[in-house]
Chains A and B, each alone.
Chain A
């Protein structure tokens, strides 16, 4: 799985950090930071959930 985030679209709801804290963080303004663009399989469910709840559709996933 490859993860991409779109910072200009991010609205800082913070839900990705709650769902998958090993993969997502926030900068000082609450905007998404990607910690790991190729997370290991154990995080895939959480990352998919994070992408599904992101209100701004700012998380994109690609299966590799």
Chain B
């Protein structure tokens, strides 16, 4: 690139909208208004991000699906032009390589090592044990004082207990992995904080893998230790990093969907009543998809970089350009979902992109679905008078998180 071109680009960048932009005050469930405007005016647009770079921001549903399914779009976070979310995630992505920031064939090879436990029939087989976890926690809540913070008492323990059982992580260590995961998913964490948290988590998983190899049990870490590390298919560090990824992704996301989903339903009592009184499991399954679409808690979007020039929607994404996919606003695209800003649990929302799209689509989605189905089907019918114990304006939302949600949700009944 010539100097004149660089200068021209820098000049053009000054006028570009900054991403991410804030949500509107008083609209905690809706994506930022600036994204709405881009989607209707310029669904493929250049934006400016934290480091001054100017990736594309994709806000249209069709464009997003088309590009996320395109092999000319790379997930490799070590490539120049990759639009990192913050300096902290840049440091983390460069220190730790997992399949989510790799391309095929490495991505496929590593991902397939951990797909087995997430098969639909295995998830269905877990349903009774998830039901028991949910019932026991509700029993404890009902027996305890009120109001209670639903995040601490219920939303965080449910997926944490489930992913611990699946991986073979002792639940008594939950404080360690929950605390360090919070650092990793926080926008304000410095590179040093992210690296320290990742090191703590990786060392913890590495120790567990060593113990599993010596004394295997019926869990995923034991399978990795005995069938992948012992055979040389993976190094112990790779297995530990994969364990960190699964443990973090397995509790932080679902916990936010439980708490934020409950808040959304409490604010939409007609929708809550439909779930509470539902007799057909399909009603609750449909509600889960609609809440995933409507809330789209992974509001930082997906990050990619183009490997070749791609012509799409009258624009040319150049090889080396970063691309940010705003799946939160794509799920509100009126071309894909009629009256998209309305929470309607009776709509068919199954084509949402809350789990992403393309070969990197969420590995744990079958688990998240079963967990959320059990939770939504149980919590409101067992506590039909569940109510917010504070004003919604007093709640603190995770504007600074890569995963959106509420920090605390005081409830009573």
Contact = CB atoms under 8 A, between A and B. Distances in A.
Given A13-B365, A14-B365, A26-B121, A55 B116 contact: no
* Residue from B111, B112, B355 whose CB has the most chain A CB atoms within 10 Å: B112
A36 interface: no
Contacts of B121: 17, 26
Given A17-B120, A18-B120, A26-B120, A55 B115 contact: no
Contacts of A57: 69
Given A11-B361, A29-B112, A49-B350, A55 B356 contact: yes
A7 B121 CA distance: 18
Contact of A12 (B112, B350, B360, B369): B112
Contacts, number: 65
Nearest to A12: B115
A2 B115 CA distance: 27
Given A19-B350, A57-B69, A13 B116 contact: no
B382 interface: no
Contacts of A49: 350
B119 interface: yes
Given A29-B115, A30-B115, A56-B359, A14 B120 contact: yes
The interface size bin for chain A is: 20 to 34
A64 interface: no
A11 B108 CA distance: 8
Contacts of A26: 119-121
Interface string B112-137: 10011011110100000000000000
B335 to A, nearest CB: 15
A63 B299 CA distance: 38
A12 B369 CA distance: 15
A14 B119 contact: yes
A7 B123 CA distance: 21
B359 to A, nearest CB: 5
Interface string B62-80: 0000000100000000000
Interface of A: 9, 11-15, 17-19, 26, 28-31, 49, 52-53, 55-57
25 contacts: A11-B359, A11-B360, A11-B363, A12-B112, A12-B118, A12-B363, A13-B361, A14-B118, A14-B119, A14-B120, A14-B123, A18-B366, A26-B119, A28-B119, A29-B115, A30-B115, A30-B116, A30-B118, A31-B115, A53-B351, A55-B355, A55-B361, A56-B69, A56-B359, A56-B361
